[in-house]
């Protein structure tokens, strides 16, 4: 199982000052899959992302990506391995233009010296054009990222993920603060991205999760409560009790 | 901002031209109307050396968000390297006329030159050390600090500790750098008499040239993709990690470059001021350099140059009239700048020029160290 899986978490536990943020969490993601993670606040969704991306080290458990042990690597190493992350609060480089935000995110050079002498290549320009088109940010390419609206920042951050071109995208609450129309557009965008990338989406918005129409994992108190289609988990009495019913 | 027409290139040209004019006027016969007295040339050279230090501080504070309160340490180390060469140049013209040892070593009854003084009879070697020693120290310090993710006020505090530790070390006689008195009584540089107006004029022009070059190279660095990355690290360091960058390496590069520039400034300073002593390491000096940058305008390249020149000019005037009040005036200046001109004098000009485009106001959030 762990060999064929893209992402493999087994028995992962994390404790913060006595609080069990993750409790023997296990999760397997197949290559090419998109998975939605839902659960009440404090269920461990963000901590799980932190463990996968190297921000938090688990106390126990295995975290493997294509068979590579992620618990031994730090954030940049994991990012270079092919895992991208979009944060809950959009974090873009506000003092740089949209174009330059995307340029910095593009897969490739990462060493300071190489960056010093880097010139914009036509391949890079092409990539940026295409991402600008996908994220509908083309008219804003020359604007400072800090001047974008909240929804546009979310999209820019997704665009930066595309620029990184990771094998696996972790997307934390992508539609928080978005209008209904934007939410549906984002669902379309993620489904589109999923054609070529594996995706894990953490989201509260059940409409959005329904629109994604993928396998759902429900977390509760740091471990998996239920797993299955949207309909299956919605019908699960425990899920209704701890999460949906409230 | 960085992307606009490079105002820093204009600043470099203006500084260079003004220094050259001043240097040439100082060579006129004294009776002539436009003659510039020697002490003015010396002062101008000192201010420009300080401007190089200010630029160094701004590179890391303004563009990388690292509030350094210890940059005078790199400046002083560069100064000591140059001072050692100038001491060796004195040769037998010292009080004790010892051909092998500087006066202070004879005074301490030392019999031979410490190994770390070897090579300093050559100007080229001293210049190399003036950039190498600060560079290597900065590399070691930065590597450890940035790797441990020390940032913000904690980093500022350890930079103070660094310069203070060096202050105490250089005060010791057995360190072999002249102790309390430091290095002084220099005679000439590369065979040219340091007290000749022509030498002093040339030194002023060279200092201006070095400052201009530092401005141009800094501008090139900041306009490169690395410069963008630096701003990205300054504003959202964590985010860059998740894209695969190592912020510690990115910060280290500008940090070392900045220390090297500071060392150069210190070397030029010592030649023109004629003395280097442990006082140059005092924590207050580093803080003063930060004030020059704040007053001029951090995050721009010519702001710190302007700030260094104006504040030091003010200091010269003020300490002549009301010496005991200078520190209060400096403190007040810093407080007023922080309260009313967060972008410094450069920001004042921008505020006047600000057009209808409500571009992002670089607010205080961006100014966090």
Which of B225, B240, B359 has its CB closest to that of A147?
B359
Per-residue pLDDT at B14 exceeds 90: yes
Average pLDDT over residues B244-257: 96
Span of B30-34, B245-249, B339-343, B349-353 with lowest mean pLDDT: B349-353
Which of A53, A85, A116 has its CB closest to that of B226?
A116
Domain coverage including residue B131: 7-283
Pairing of the two strands A19-29 and A7-16? antiparallel
Q: B99-103, B133-137, B194-198 — which one is most confidently predicted on average?
A: B133-137
The predicted pLDDT at position B31 comes to 86
Which residues lie closer than 8 Å to B296 by C-beta, 6 or more apart? Answer: B54, B58, B302, B303, B304, B305, B306, B307, B308, B310, B344, B345, B346
Measured between alpha carbons, how far is B100 from B90 in angstroms, rounded to an integer? 10
Measured between alpha carbons, how far is B226 from B2 in angstroms, rounded to an integer? 13
Q: Give the tens place of pLDDT for each residue, A45-69.
A: 999 999 999 999 999 999 999 999 9
Let me know if residue B356 belongs to a domain.
no
- Residue A244 Cα, gap to closest chain B Cα (Å): 32
SS3 A64: strand
Smallest Cα–Cα separation from B265: which of B227, B312, B335, B332? B312
Question: Into how many domains does chain B fold?
Answer: 1
DSSP, residue by residue, B131-153: HHHHHHHHHHHHHHHHHTT--HH
Max CA distance (Å), chain B: 72
Contact B244 A76 (CB under 8 A): yes
Measured between alpha carbons, how far is B24 from A29 in angstroms, rounded to an integer? 75
Let me know if residue B229 belongs to a domain.
yes
The predicted pLDDT at position A88 comes to 82
For an interface test with B, give the residue of A50, A75, A88, A125 to mutate (most B CBs within 10 A). Answer: A75
Let me know if residue B111 belongs to a domain.
yes
The answer to whether A198 and A31 have CB atoms below 8 angstroms apart is: yes
Smallest Cα–Cα separation from B125: which of B265, B267, B258? B267
Let me know if residue B245 belongs to a domain.
yes
Contact B246 A103 (CB under 8 A): no
The answer to whether A46 and A202 have CB atoms below 8 angstroms apart is: yes
The predicted pLDDT at position B290 comes to 97
Tokens 């913060």 map to which residue?
A: A16
Contact B360 A147 (CB under 8 A): yes
Distances (CA, A) of B38 to B47, B196, B205: 14, 9, 14
- In chain B, residues with a C-beta closer than 8 Å to the C-beta of A104 are 225, 228-229, 232, 240, 243
Sign, CA dihedral A48-A51-A52-A55, equals positive
B299: left (phi over 0), alpha (psi -120 to 50) or beta: left
Smallest Cα–Cα separation from A230: which of A242, A218, A243? A218
Per-residue pLDDT at B15 exceeds 70: yes
Which of A53, A74, A104 has its CB closest to that of B228?
A104
- Residue B231 Cα, gap to closest chain A Cα (Å): 7
The answer to whether A50 and A172 have CB atoms below 8 angstroms apart is: no
Contact A91 B236 (CB under 8 A): yes
Let me know if residue B189 belongs to a domain.
yes
Per-residue pLDDT at A149 exceeds 80: yes
Average pLDDT over residues B333-355: 82
Burial class (CB in 10 A: 0-12, 13-18, 19+), A209: buried
What is the pLDDT of chain B when averaged over all its residues? Answer: 92
Q: Give the tens place of pLDDT for each residue, B205-215.
A: 999 999 999 99
Measured between alpha carbons, how far is B102 from B179 in angstroms, rounded to an integer? 13
Q: What is the pLDDT confidence band of residue B362, given thresholds at 50, 70 and 90?
A: very low
The predicted pLDDT at position B353 comes to 63
Residues 125-144 of A with CB under 8 A from B: 144
CB atoms within 10 A of CB A10: 17
The predicted pLDDT at position B360 comes to 41
The answer to whether A106 and A131 have CB atoms below 8 angstroms apart is: no
- In chain A, residues with a C-beta closer than 8 Å to the C-beta of B231 are 93, 95-96
The predicted pLDDT at position A3 comes to 60
Tell me the percentage of chain A whose pLDDT exceeds 70. 98
Per-residue pLDDT at B358 exceeds 60: no
Give me the numbers of helices (H) and strands (E) for chain B, helices first please.
13, 4
Average pLDDT over residues B256-264: 98
Let me know if residue B203 belongs to a domain.
yes
What is the pLDDT of chain A when averaged over all its residues? Answer: 92
Residue A206 sits at the chain B interface (C-beta within 8 Å): no
Chain B residues at the A interface, defined by Cβ less than 8 Å, are 1, 221, 224-226, 228-229, 231-232, 235-236, 238-246, 249-250, 252-253, 358-360, 362, 366
Q: How far is CA B302 from the centre of its chain?
A: 14
Which residues lie closer than 8 Å to A149 by C-beta, 6 or more apart? Answer: none
Q: Give the tens place of pLDDT for each residue, B284-314.
A: 999 999 999 999 999 999 999 999 999 999 9
Burial class (CB in 10 A: 0-12, 13-18, 19+), A70: buried
Q: Give the tens place of pLDDT for each residue, B110-165.
A: 999 999 999 999 999 999 999 999 999 999 999 999 999 998 999 999 999 999 99
- Residue B253 Cα, gap to closest chain A Cα (Å): 7
Let me know if residue B366 belongs to a domain.
no
Per-residue pLDDT at B221 exceeds 70: yes
Smallest Cα–Cα separation from A10: which of A25, A21, A29, A23? A25
Per-residue pLDDT at A244 exceeds 80: no
Per-residue pLDDT at B348 exceeds 90: no
Q: Give the tens place of pLDDT for each residue, A68-104.
A: 999 999 999 999 999 999 988 889 999 999 999 999 9
Burial class (CB in 10 A: 0-12, 13-18, 19+), A69: exposed
Q: Which residue of A has its CA nearest to B235?
A: A93
Q: Give the tens place of pLDDT for each residue, A198-237.
A: 999 998 888 899 999 999 999 999 999 999 999 999 888 8
Q: Give the tens place of pLDDT for each residue, B315-338.
A: 999 999 998 999 999 999 999 999
Contact A118 B366 (CB under 8 A): no
Q: What is the DSSP letter of A244?
A: I
- Residue B185 Cα, gap to closest chain A Cα (Å): 42
């Amino acid at each position: 199982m762990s060999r064929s899986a893209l992402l493999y978490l087994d028995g992962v536990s994390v404790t913060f000052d006595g609080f069990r943020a993750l409790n023997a969490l296990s999760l397997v993601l197949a290559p090419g899959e998109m998975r939605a993670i839902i659960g009440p606040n404090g269920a461990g969704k963000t901590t799980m992302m932190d463990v996968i991306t190297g921000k938090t080290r688990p106390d126990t458990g295995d975290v493997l990506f294509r068979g590579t042990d992620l618990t031994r690597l730090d954030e940049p190493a994991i990012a270079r391995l092919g895992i991208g992350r979009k944060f809950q609060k959009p974090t873009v480089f506000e003092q740089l233009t949209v174009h330059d935000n995307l340029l910095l995110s593009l897969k490739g050079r990462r060493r300071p010296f190489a960056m010093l002498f880097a010139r914009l290549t036509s391949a890079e320009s092409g990539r940026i054009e295409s991402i600008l088109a996908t994220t509908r940010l083309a008219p804003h390419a020359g604007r400072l990222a800090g001047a974008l609206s909240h929804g546009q920042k979310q999209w820019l951050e997704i665009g930066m993920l595309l620029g990184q071109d990771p094998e696996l995208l972790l997307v934390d609450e992508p539609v928080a603060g978005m209008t209904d129309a934007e939410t549906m557009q984002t669902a379309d965008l993620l489904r589109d991205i999923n054609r070529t990338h594996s995706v894990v989406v953490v989201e509260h918005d059940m409409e959005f999760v329904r629109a994604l129409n993928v396998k759902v994992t429900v977390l509760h108190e740091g471990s998996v409560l239920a797993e299955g289609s949207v309909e299956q988990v919605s019908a699960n009495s425990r899920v209704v009790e701890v999460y949906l019913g409230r | 901002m960085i992307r606009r027409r490079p105002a820093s290139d204009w600043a470099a040209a203006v500084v260079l031209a003004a220094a050259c004019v001043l240097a040439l006027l100082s060579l006129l016969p004294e009776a002539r109307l436009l003659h510039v007295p020697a002490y003015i040339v010396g002062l101008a050279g000192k201010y420009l050396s300080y401007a190089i230090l200010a630029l160094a501080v701004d590179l890391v504070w303004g563009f990388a968000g690292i509030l350094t309160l210890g940059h005078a340490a790199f400046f002083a180390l560069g100064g000591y390297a140059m001072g050692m060469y100038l001491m060796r140049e004195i040769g037998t013209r010292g009080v004790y006329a010892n051909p092998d040892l500087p006066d202070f070593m004879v005074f301490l009854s030392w019999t031979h030159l410490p190994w770390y003084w070897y090579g300093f009879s050559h100007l080229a070697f001293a210049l190399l050390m003036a950039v190498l020693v600060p560079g290597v120290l900065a590399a070691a310090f930065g590597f450890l600090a940035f790797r441990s993710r020390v940032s913000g006020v904690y980093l500022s505090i350890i930079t103070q500790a660094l310069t203070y530790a060096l202050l105490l070390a250089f005060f010791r006689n057995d360190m072999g750098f002249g102790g309390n008195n430091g290095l002084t009584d220099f005679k000439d540089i590369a065979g040219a008499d340091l007290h000749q107006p022509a030498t002093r004029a040339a030194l002023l022009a060279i200092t201006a040239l070095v400052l201009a070059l530092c401005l141009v190279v800094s501008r090139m660095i900041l306009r490169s993709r690395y410069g963008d990355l630096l701003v990205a690290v300054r504003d959202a360091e964590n985010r860059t990690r998740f894209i695969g960058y190592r912020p510690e390496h990115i910060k280290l590069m500008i940090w070392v470059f900045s220390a090297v520039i500071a060392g150069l400034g210190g070397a030029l300073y010592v030649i023109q001021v004629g003395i280097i002593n442990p006082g140059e390491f005092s924590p207050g000096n580093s803080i003063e350099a930060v004030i020059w940058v704040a007053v001029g305008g951090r995050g721009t390249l010519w702001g710190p140059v302007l700030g260094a020149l104006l504040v030091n000019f003010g200091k010269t005037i003020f300490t002549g009239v009301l010496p005991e009040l200078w520190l209060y005036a400096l403190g007040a200046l810093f407080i007023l700048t922080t309260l009313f001109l967060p972008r410094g004098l450069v920001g004042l000009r921008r505020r006047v020029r600000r057009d209808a485009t409500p571009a992002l106001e670089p607010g205080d959030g961006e100014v966090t160290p």
